[in-house]
């Protein structure tokens, strides 16, 4: 099984060349998001399951339903779905610029 992403919101922000994006990600148990960086800061809320998240070489923390964490722009992050997990992700980006890249 693989991760699925469902875009739920893509909306321009006024006259600036930015847009707000909101999407849901479903991850099967055990799926890992290897070390990567985001071009933009993201805010993530756990809708279902347990997600283990780590920033740089810091201590990994498990987040459960209702908890929120942030992925700072440019910082190396990684994660793992401890159980089948659903996340709600929100970010502001420039249209057409990739959201993530390998660390």
Span 33-52, pLDDT tens digits: 889 988 888 999 999 999 99
The rounded distance, in Å, linking the Cα atoms of 4 and 58 is 27
Predicted local confidence at residue 28, as pLDDT: 97
Domain with 19, as residue range(s), is: 4-102
The predicted-structure confidence for 51-103, as pLDDT tens digits, reads as follows 999 999 899 999 999 999 999 889 999 999 999 999 999 998 888 776 777 66
Q: Which tokens is 47 given?
A: 């809708």
pTM: 0.86
CATH code assigned at 48: 2.60.120.10
Q: What is the DSSP string of 54-90?
A: EETTS--EEEETT-EEEE-TT--EEEEESSSEEEEEE
Q: Please write the tens of the pLDDT for every residue from 2-20.
A: 988 988 888 888 777 888 9
The total of structural domains in the chain comes to 1
Residue 60 has phi, psi (to 5 degrees) of -70, 145
Provide the pLDDT for residue 103: 65
């Amino acid at each position: 099984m693989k991760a699925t992403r469902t875009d739920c919101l893509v909306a321009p922000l006024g006259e600036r060349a930015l847009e707000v994006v909101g999407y849901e990600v479903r991850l099967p148990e055990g799926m890992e998001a290897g070390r990567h960086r985001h071009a933009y800061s993201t805010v993530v809320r756990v809708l279902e399951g347990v997600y283990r998240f780590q920033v740089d070489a810091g201590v990994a923390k498990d987040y459960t339903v209702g908890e929120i964490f942030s992925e700072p722009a440019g910082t190396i992050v990684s994660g793992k779905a401890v159980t089948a997990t659903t996340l709600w992700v929100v970010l502001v980006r420039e249209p057409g610029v990739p959201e993530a890249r390998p660390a």
